[in-house]
């Protein structure tokens, strides 16, 4: 699929000492985001190398994604 972001191209970086704040970093494009990469599903997130350190299953990721949607909306003043 053209333009598809591949989970294998990303890594997760802990951006706080507690490990509670995460950044997604694309190792090919050098794109980074505090939020879930656009277009990613919960399954995509679980397929990012090292993701299972933070989430055990799709339900865990889905919960995290919902939290990030709320934070993103607040950050954008919605």
Mean pLDDT value across the chain: 91
**Radius of gyration, CA atoms only, the chain:** 12
Mean pLDDT along residues 11-33: 92
Mean pLDDT of the region 15-37: 91
- Residue ranges of domains in the chain: 7-75
CB contact burial 2-19 (16+ within 10 A = b; e otherwise): eeebebebbbbeeeeeee
pLDDT in tens, 32-61: 999 999 999 999 999 999 999 999 999 999
Secondary structure of residue 26 in the 3-state scheme: strand
Model pTM score? 0.84
Cα–Cα distance, 17 to 46 (Å, whole number): 22
The percent of residues above 90 in pLDDT, for the chain, comes to 78
């Amino acid at each position: 699929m053209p333009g598809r972001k591949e989970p294998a191209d990303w890594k997760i970086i802990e951006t706080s000492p507690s490990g509670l704040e995460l950044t997604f970093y694309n190792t090919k494009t050098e794109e980074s985001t505090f939020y879930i990469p656009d277009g990613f599903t919960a399954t995509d997130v679980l397929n990012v190398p090292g993701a299972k350190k933070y989430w055990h299953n799709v339900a865990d990721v889905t919960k995290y994604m919902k939290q990030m949607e709320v934070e993103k909306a607040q950050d954008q003043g919605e």
